[in-house]
Amino acid sequence: MSEKKAQLTIDGIDETIELPVYEGSTGPNVVDVRSLVGKGVFTYDPGFVSTAACDSDITYIDGAAGILLHRGYPIEQLAEKSNFLETCYLLLNGELPNQQEFDEFENSIRYHTMVDEGIRLFFRGFPRDAHPMAMLCSAVAALSAFYHDSLDIDNPEHRMLAAHRVIAKMPTLAAMCYKHGIGQPFMYPQNEMGLAENFLHMMFDTPCEAPSVSPTLAKAMDTLFLLHADHEQNASTSTVRLAGSTGANPYACIASGIAALWGPAHGGANEAVLKMLDQIGDESRIEEFIAKAKDKNDPFRLMGFGHRVYKNYDPRATVIRGICDQVLEELGSMNDPLFRIAKKLEKIALEDEYFNERKLFPNVDFYSGIILKAIGIPTSLFTVIFATGRTPGWIAHWNEMLSGSYRIGRPRQLYKGHTRRDYKS
């Protein structure tokens, strides 16, 4: 029971309304407004700026302090000491696995990477120039057609099986989106490879040659997936929860998350960074673009800078910056004109008073776009990579919701339309 209370007086309602206030383990308190509907009023919060829509034990963000914790563990420590699959286990199960638990989990993921041959035929029906996100979204939704024998969302074993399946199959489907677009044969996953290595194999190897994946790039890819694994109640995760609250099957819910991620305000920013670097075109034009970004009369913003939640360095950006240098070094791309522009832009902006005053730091998308481009991943596939990394977060939130008590998500509205009027014939 809550000890703390908030008191609310509203014009037209005689009584003072008492609302319970709950404390989380850390972070802001929340005021429980559920009783307000009984008094005939709703709260108004477009964009859910001040609204907690659920309880969660999975991820905590303190944007002012630049903190991101998964199940209590700082993202920097996970990026340094853990790996993507171990972090998936942590998000799903709440604790880090011991060696036996990790081996069993890894094995389960390994043996679920293959997709039904029917999915391969399904892909063939897409136009060659279909957007990769359109293919991914449809292919994930289509998985529910193949696994209807294990879609009982009230059965914890079915839920965990769906979680393993979707985490395992996303890299396979992501690579199929790419291969279909360039007309190359789909590559089967290789069970002796790790998840990120397997992904790069399915992306860039062909049946004509022996597999050749750089361990440095595989490690960078793994850390990129890890850094995107979860980010609390963002738009796509909230979409997955909302869809899940209706009792929809997990593949349909993840497909709805992919659709939400597709929007440029969410998953599309790393793509925008590359477009901006292309637009700048030459180091000599950087100052001109910095001036445009500072000009209040110009809508241009420096893509990959600033964050709605982080008003400090995004902790993921700190990690990814180091990986970016390693990848460029490994690929001998340090002198690539685009990357030189990126590095110089970063340096100038970090020293600029305008950006410092406003706490505008390079965000995770600034570096992830550069790394993906260096690895050879086309810009149109960037959001697909983001979706692959975010899948454990989506499915962990879905599972958390279904494991506890929940109600169908059903926001209300402030109606501003016509009042009742009669139809005149």
Active site residues: 266, 307, 365
- For residue 338, the minimal CB distance to ligand CMC (Å) is 17
In this chain, which of 194, 306, 315, 389 binds ligand CMC, going by CB under 6 A? Answer: 306
- For residue 308, the minimal CB distance to ligand CMC (Å) is 4
Question: Taking CB positions, which residue lies at the least distance from ligand CMC?
Answer: 306
- For residue 294, the minimal CB distance to ligand CMC (Å) is 7
Binding marks (x or -) toward ligand CMC, 269..298, rule CB under 6 A?
A: x-----------------------x-----
365 binds ligand CMC (CB under 6 A): yes
Q: Which is nearer to ligand CMC, 66 or 181 (CB)?
A: 66
Q: Which is nearer to ligand CMC, 219 or 307 (CB)?
A: 307
What is the C-alpha separation between 349 and 290, in angstroms, rounded? 7
Q: Which is nearer to ligand CMC, 159 or 397 (CB)?
A: 397
253 binds ligand CMC (CB under 6 A): no
Q: Which is nearer to ligand CMC, 225 or 305 (CB)?
A: 305
307 binds ligand CMC (CB under 6 A): yes
In total, the chain counts a number of residues equal to 425
Listed ranges 139-147, 276-284, 363-371, 415-423: which one lies at the site for ligand CMC (CB under 6 A): 363-371
Q: Which is nearer to ligand CMC, 180 or 231 (CB)?
A: 231
59 binds ligand CMC (CB under 6 A): no
In this chain, which of 305, 367, 394, 398 binds ligand CMC, going by CB under 6 A? Answer: 305
397 binds ligand CMC (CB under 6 A): no
Listed ranges 107-115, 280-288, 299-307, 317-325: which one lies at the site for ligand CMC (CB under 6 A): 299-307
In this chain, which of 249, 363, 388, 399 binds ligand CMC, going by CB under 6 A? Answer: 363
Residue ranges that bind ligand CMC, judged by CB under 6 A = 266, 269, 293, 301-308, 358, 360, 363-365
